[in-house]
Amino acid sequence: MRKTQATFKLGIEFSNWGDIGERYFHAFGQIGRSTWMGDFQHLWQHASSLGWGGELQDYCFELQAAKAGKFDKDKANYAYHLDAGLYASFLSELSQKRGVKRIEGTIESIAMDSENGHISNLVLKNGTSVQGDLFIDCTGFKGLLINGALGVGFEDWSHWLPMNSAWAVQTEGKKEIPPYTKSIAHDASWQWRIPLQNRVGNGLVFCSDYTSEQDALQLLTDNLEGDMVSQPRLLKFKTGKRNKTWFKNCVAIGLSSGFLEPLESTSIHLSQISATRLVQMFPFNGMDEVLQTHFNNYVDGEVDSIRDFIILHYNLNRRSEPFWQHVATMDIPDSLQHRLELYKRTSIAFKNDLDLFRVDSWNQVMLGQGIKVEGYHQMGRLIKDDNLRQAFNDLQEHINSTVEGLPMHADFLRQYGVLDLHRKP
Ligand SMILES: Cc1cc2nc3c(=O)[nH]c(=O)nc-3n(C[C@H](O)[C@H](O)[C@H](O)COP(=O)(O)OP(=O)(O)OC[C@H]3O[C@@H](n4cnc5c(N)ncnc54)[C@H](O)[C@@H]3O)c2cc1C
């Protein structure tokens, strides 16, 4: 954490997403207590029908801690905010210390084995040839190996996720460090604020069909909370997935394998999980199509489900601007349509094996975006009203008293030894 200026992340606060003026959290914790019969939201729906029970989020510890700006590593489920550039340097240093050999250079051409169509070696600008049995394509959006050399195409998802550009800029660090990301929706864009130890990462993701680059930059700079400490950078991207992430003797990891916009900050996770899976499914006996299909099925399952989760944020909105109307009325993947219908009718949210997001993530975003449910499991009727009310009160009291005893996030970082005591905000 010291090397990457990292902070802890309990979730994301979404503002203006369901409608202007609305706010909700996607926190990484569990909500209430579930039973074998059904998840907590059914009990909460039952309580709501009786006229009490408050908001579902009142029963999520991580969410209440985030709202209070507090944190304790031993008590919460969390992720990290980190500086991706520093993280790359950290991993590079770590792996070279452990024996990885690094050859720096620009790939100028890629030589192929004419017999089996595999990549045989990379030729660098300075003439060096790098041979290998297995190549990992980490060349970003270019996909020089997987696409350039092997011609594996790309499944375009921009009809579901039309954002295609972003401005990114850093602002000065702050004294208080919220343990969560902020995501603020605008007319045809959304803005992120990611607090690190020494600075705040900011950006505006937009769709060039609806907002010009200049207007997007103006909107971002008008809505910054501190002074800029870097020049704004424009990034262009296309949302979608490589048709096969492992093909022949090449595995695409990172942006060469596809891209989902950073709404739920999932790219680095996807790179990491792909690297882990490659270790688990390493081709010790040479390239094997069965193994490759198995690997590709995992990647597809993981990415498709994250894609659906991100589309959900856009599709369930009640805003009136043309962009929001467009995404509210567009066709969505069948897999998401099924989830939405099921939730609307029954309040059932589910997590498949390859899903990154848990039941309570789906719950929070569906309800946060304003879905209206028509039914729920009647398990609450098996419990006497007074007992249920008592159980709900106990849960809330436990959460509130635990949150009260937590340190503020910046103080926790100091105690934990990662935040410089003499840091100037
Ligand atoms: C707007 C935006 C916001 C993001 N926010 C998040 C977030 O919040 N959370 C998250 O997890 N992820 C986020 N990501 C994704 C994250 O930035 C990427 O996962 C990360 O950069 C890793 O990408 P990569 O290494 O695959 O590609 P890149 O970072 O693009 O690296 C590709 C590398 O290939 C090199 N290269 C290209 N051509 C050649 C050549 N001919 N020879 C040699 N080298 C070459 C380039 O120099 C570069 O170093 C975001 C991305 C964008 C665009």
How much distance in Å is there from the Cα of 305 to the middle of ligand 1?
21
Half-sphere exposure for 184 (CA within 13 Å, toward CB) = 15
CA proximity to 211, closest of 198, 220, 200: 220
pLDDT number for residue 423:
63
Domain(s) labelled CATH 3.50.50.60 in the chain stretch across: 103-158+239-306
Of 232, 261, 83, which is closest to residue 168 (Cα–Cα)?
A: 232
The residue among 403, 417, 423, 420 whose CA lies nearest residue 179 is 403
Taking only Cα atoms into account, the Rg of the chain, rounded to an integer number of angstroms, comes to 23
**Residue 108: HSE in the Cβ half-sphere, 13 Å Cα cutoff:** 8
pLDDT of 92-121, one tens digit each?
999 999 999 999 999 999 999 999 999 999
Ligand 1 mean position to 254 CA, how many Å? 7
Residue 155 backbone dihedrals phi, psi, to 5 degrees: -90, 115
Taking the C-alpha atoms of residue 316 and residue 358, their distance in angstroms, rounded to an integer, is 19
Asked if residue 422 has pLDDT above 70, the reply is no
Q: What average pLDDT does the chain have?
A: 96
pTM of the prediction? 0.95
pLDDT at 177: 96
Q: Write down the CATH number for the domain with range 165-236.
A: 3.30.70
Nearest residue (by CA) to ligand 1, atom 26, is 254
We find that the CATH architecture of domain 103-158+239-306 is 3-Layer(bba) Sandwich (3.50)
Whether 164 is in the pocket of ligand 1, judged by its Cβ within 6 Å, is no
Q: How far is CA 133 from CA 103, 124, 129, 143, 283, in A?
A: 16, 17, 14, 18, 10
Q: Contact at 8 Å (CB) between 352 and 301?
A: yes
- CB count within 10 Å of CB 302 equals 20
> Ligand 1 centroid to 318 CA: how many Å?
33
Start-end of CATH 3.30.70 domains in the chain:
165-236
Q: What is the pLDDT of residues 185-239, one digit of tens each?
A: 999 999 999 999 999 999 999 999 999 999 999 999 999 999 999 999 999 999 9
Ligand 1: centre distance to CA 179 (Å): 25
Q: Cβ(262) to ligand 1 under 6 A?
A: yes
State which H helix or E strand residue 132 sits in: none
Per-residue pLDDT tens over the stretch 43-75: 999 999 999 999 999 999 999 999 999 999 999
The answer to whether the CB of 268 is under 6 A from ligand 1 is yes
